[in-house]
Amino acid sequence: MLSDHSLIQADGLRFSYDREPVLRGLSCEIERGEFVGIIGPNGSGKTTFLRHLTNVLHPDEGSLFLDGEDYRNISTRQLARRIGVVPQESSIIFAFSVTEVVLMGRAPYMRSFGFERQQDIEIARYAMERTDVLHLADRRMNELSGGEKQRVIIARALAQEPEILLLDEPTSALDIKHQISIYGLLTQLNRERDLTIVSVSHDLNMAAQYCRRLILMRRGDVFLSGPPLDVMSEESILEVYGARVSVERRGDPATPFVLPVREERSG
């Protein structure tokens, strides 16, 4: 590491909606160039943590640093130039074209009263090329399939020219083919452009296949963190999810596979 601090550093984050604590002293670090998957059961605070990373929520206690800078000192606009976000689903009420949506990724760089400059258009084009949606450029968003839409949203996030890409269950609405292609794309972006990727996922197997590190969350804190092979074990899944599974190793290099174990109910 060139610098002495991590790209993202969370120290003892506490947060509650109303009175229900969701984050209970969460601490973790994410280094530049990592591909991290955040996993954990429903309500363990994954999405809440992600919303802290995007400055949508602010911690009640604890602090959060981006490249050594306190989040509280970073404006929404500044942050949007450094972090691109791909949410779970996007509902778009007006018939914006694909190009228009991707160009909105340039919003954090734009002034009021103005249209995109040639440079913005080129950046958007490049982002569309990377995510393989250039051929859809003139189509309307509401004509696209779920997989295509998600690629467009990733292109929009890339047009922000971010250092970090945050994804909240980016493939939960997609079929297996599109899941593979989205994760493949993310891997490529991570390797070729040194883009730091943090992805929240419910799909343990997808996460284990593609992420180089997993953060397993339990009740608002980090339970385990490390390479997929270390994090995903029958014991840890039982402990955190309360579910009996069998974990197998496959492939070379080996990656863990989680298989559900059928419970025979008696009586």
- Which residues make up the interface to another protein (CB under 8 A)? 51, 54-56, 75-81, 83-85, 87, 90-97, 100-101, 104-105, 107-108, 110, 112-115, 140, 142-143, 157, 160
At residue 195, the 3 state secondary structure works out as coil
**Which is nearer to another protein, 11 or 67 (by Cβ)?**
67
**CB 99, CB 124: distance < 8 Å:** yes
How many Cβ atoms sit within 10 Å of the Cβ of residue 4?
6
**Which is nearer to another protein, 148 or 221 (by Cβ)?**
148
**Which is nearer to another protein, 166 or 216 (by Cβ)?**
166
- What are the tokens at 208? 């284990």
Which residues of the chain form beta strands (DSSP E)? 8-17, 20-30, 35-39, 61-66, 69-70, 83-86, 164-168, 196-200, 213-218, 221-226, 245-250, 255-260
Question: Least CB distance from residue 119 to another protein, whole Å?
Answer: 16
**Which is nearer to another protein, 111 or 265 (by Cβ)?**
111
Question: Least CB distance from residue 100 to another protein, whole Å?
Answer: 6
253 prior amide bond cis, ω within 30: yes
Q: Which residues contact 165 (CB under 8 A, 6 or more apart)?
A: 83, 84, 85, 86, 154, 157, 158, 186, 189, 195, 196, 197, 198
**Which is nearer to another protein, 79 or 204 (by Cβ)?**
79
Is the dihedral angle over the CA atoms 208, 180, 176, 215 positive or is it negative? positive
- What are the tokens at 81? 């130039």
Question: Least CB distance from residue 129 to another protein, whole Å?
Answer: 21
Question: Least CB distance from residue 169 to another protein, whole Å?
Answer: 14
**Which is nearer to another protein, 154 or 216 (by Cβ)?**
154
Question: Least CB distance from residue 186 to another protein, whole Å?
Answer: 17
Question: Least CB distance from residue 145 to another protein, whole Å?
Answer: 12
